[in-house]
């Protein structure tokens, strides 16, 4: 079975349900995308985390005893995580989920189970408007059309930062064809898997 090393904080974010990854949501997306072999949408993360958590605890049973305390300040999370890293190690191997462990569900179908289908607008792949994230360089569409309140979905961004997404949404948009996406990673992401 194939494995890939992930930071302890990424793993604990899945097993405990508390966001303690030093890479925040990017760490959660990366570990769950690896485990499923899919590119997950935001609304799929809770279900997939429920599938992945037990698998991670079977692979690393010592992590089952870890409980995340309440933190008064964000800095306390990193201090607590450093203590956990000293005990359990910084990175641990993470297996991929088997077909028996993970149910692959079409993201739009799954969304239709959560919100009324009238609220879902599927953006065509060759849509002519998009934002590029200043942090990771990924292209993504706005998630909510503010004028109609309708949901808009496409490939999710790796760095799911609402404040950054909203700030970028206020900037100008530009046209692109799917084949025109940049071939190289965004600045500062060279060598990233």
pLDDT tens for each residue of 77-115: 999 999 999 999 999 999 999 999 999 998 888 888 888
The CA distance from 50 to 106, in Å, is: 17
Q: What's the rounded mean pLDDT across residues 27-50? A: 93
Cα–Cα distance list, 100 to 40, 51, 56 (Å): 18, 10, 15
Say what the pLDDT of residue 1 is.
78
Please give the model's pTM, rounded to 2 decimal places: 0.64
Give the percent of the chain with pLDDT over 90. Answer: 49
How far apart are the C-alpha atoms of 68 and 154, rounded to whole Å? 33
In this predicted model, what pLDDT tens digit does every residue of 122-140 receive, in sequence order? Answer: 655 444 344 455 445 555 4
């Amino acid at each position: 079975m194939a494995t890939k090393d992930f930071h302890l904080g990424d793993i604990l974010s899945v097993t405990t349900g508390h966001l303690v990854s030093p890479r925040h949501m990017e760490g959660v997306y990366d570990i769950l995308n690896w485990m499923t072999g899919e590119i997950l949408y935001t609304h799929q993360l809770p279900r997939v985390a429920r599938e992945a958590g037990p698998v991670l605890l079977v692979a690393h049973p010592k992590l089952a005893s870890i409980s995340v305390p309440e933190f008064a300040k964000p800095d306390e999370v990193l201090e607590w995580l450093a203590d956990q890293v000293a005990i359990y190690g910084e990175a641990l191997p993470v297996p991929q989920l088997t077909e028996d462990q993970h149910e692959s569900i079409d993201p739009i179908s799954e969304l239709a189970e959560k919100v009324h289908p009238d609220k879902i607008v599927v953006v065509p792949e060759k849509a002519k408007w998009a934002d590029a994230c200043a942090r990771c360089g990924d292209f993504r569409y706005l998630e909510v059309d503010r004028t109609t309140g309708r949901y808009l979905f496409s490939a999710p961004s790796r760095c799911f930062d609402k404040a950054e997404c909203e700030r970028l949404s206020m900037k100008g948009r530009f046209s692109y064809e799917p084949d025109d996406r940049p071939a190289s990673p965004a600045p500062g992401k060279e060598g990233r898997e």
